[in-house]
Chains A and B, each alone.
Chain A
Amino acid sequence: MASPEIILAAAEAGHIVTAAAGTHVGTHGATHHEAPGLLDIIRNNLPALQVLVPLTLAPLITLLNNRNLSWLLAMVGTSVSLLIAVVLTTQVLDGSVISYALGNWAPPLGIELRVDAANALVLLIVAAIGTCAAIYARPSVDKELGMTEQPLFYTAFLLCFSGLLGVTITGDAFNLFVFLEISSLSTYALVAMGAKQDRRALNAAYNYLILGTVGATFYVIGLGLAYMMTGTLNMADLAQRLPDLMGSGTLWVAFGFITIGLATKLAMFPLHFWLPNAYTYAPSVVTGFLAATATKVAVYALIRFIFTVFGADFAVEAQLFGKVLLPLGLIGIIAGSLVAIWQVNAKRILAFSSVAQIGYMLVGLGLMSLTGLTATMLHMFNHALMKGALFFALGAVMWKLGGVTLDKMRGAGKLMPWTMAAFVGGGLSLVGVPTTVGFISKWYLLNAAFEREWYWLIAILLITSLMAAVYMWRVFEVAYLRPAPEGVQKGEAPLLLLIPTWALVLANFWFGLNATTTVNLAETAARGLLGLTGGAN
Chain B
Amino acid sequence: MNHHLILRVITKILIPPILLFALYVQFHGDYGPGGGFQAGVIFAAAFVLYALIFGLDAANDVAPPHIVRGFTAVGWLLYIGVGVWSLFLGAPFLDYSVLAHDPIHGQHYGILLVEGGVGITVASTMITIFNYFAEHGRLPKEGDDD
Contacts and interface: CB of A to CB of B under 8 A. Distances in A.
B97 A102 contact: no
Interface in B96-119: 96-98, 102-103, 106
Contacts of A101: 92
A25 B77 contact: no
B90 A41 contact: yes
A243 B95 CA distance: 33
26 contacts: A23-B90, A28-B97, A29-B97, A29-B102, A30-B102, A30-B103, A36-B90, A41-B87, A44-B92, A48-B92, A48-B93, A52-B80, A55-B80, A56-B77, A56-B80, A59-B76, A59-B80, A62-B72, A62-B73, A63-B73, A63-B77, A102-B93, A103-B96, A104-B95, A199-B146, A202-B146
Interface of A is mostly: helix
Interface size class of B (residues with CB under 8 A): 20 to 34
Q: A-B pairs with the 3 shortest C-beta distances?
A: A29-B98, A59-B73, A104-B95
Contacts of A40: 90
Given A35-B89, A45-B92, A60-B77, 11 more contacts: A25-B90, A28-B103, A29-B95, A32-B98, A40-B90, A41-B87, A52-B93, A56-B84, A62-B73, A100-B92, A101-B92
Given A62-B69, A62-B70, A63-B73, A52 B90 contact: no
B55 to A, nearest CB: 25
A29 B88 contact: no
Nearest to A63: B73
A23 B89 CA distance: 12
Interface in A86-112: 100-104
A70 to B, nearest CB: 12
A103 B80 contact: no
**A28, A40, A55, A59 — which one has the most chain B CB atoms within 10 A of its CB?**
A59
Contacts of A44: 92
B73 A104 contact: no
A60 B102 CA distance: 31
Given A62-B72, A63-B70, A32 B93 contact: no
Contacts of B44: none
Contacts of B69: 62
B35 interface: no
**B72, B93, B96, B106 — which one has the most chain A CB atoms within 10 A of its CB?**
B93
B83 interface: yes
B103 A29 contact: yes
A29 B92 contact: no
Contacts of A104: 91-92, 95, 97
Interface in A164-180: none
Contacts of A41: 87-88, 90
B64 to A, nearest CB: 14
**A44, A45, A60 — which one has the most chain B CB atoms within 10 A of its CB?**
A45
A29 B84 contact: no
Contacts of B103: 28-30
Contact of A103 (B70, B76, B77, B93): B93
Contact of B91 (A29, A52, A55, A65): A29
Contacts of A35: 88-90
A24 interface: yes
Nearest to A32: B90
B132 to A, nearest CB: 12
B126 interface: no
B123 interface: no
B94 interface: yes
A41 B84 CA distance: 10
A103 B98 contact: no
B54 to A, nearest CB: 28
**A23, A36, A100, A199 — which one has the most chain B CB atoms within 10 A of its CB?**
A36
B74 interface: yes
Nearest to A105: B95
Contacts of A59: 72-74, 76-77, 80
A24 B90 contact: yes
Contacts of A24: 90
**B91, B94, B102 — which one has the most chain A CB atoms within 10 A of its CB?**
B91
Contacts of A56: 77, 80, 84
Contacts of A60: 73, 77
Interface string B12-47: 000000000000000000000000000000000000
**B84, B87, B98 — which one has the most chain A CB atoms within 10 A of its CB?**
B87
Interface in A4-33: 23-25, 28-30, 32
Nearest to B78: A59
B89 A103 contact: no
Given A59-B77, A62-B69, A63-B73, A29 B93 contact: no
B88 A45 contact: no
B90 A103 contact: no
A65 to B, nearest CB: 8
B74 A32 contact: no
Nearest to B72: A62
Interface string A36-60: 1000110011001000100110111
Nearest to A62: B73
Contacts of B93: 45, 48, 52, 102-103
Contacts of A29: 89, 91, 95, 97-98, 102-103, 106
Nearest to A41: B87
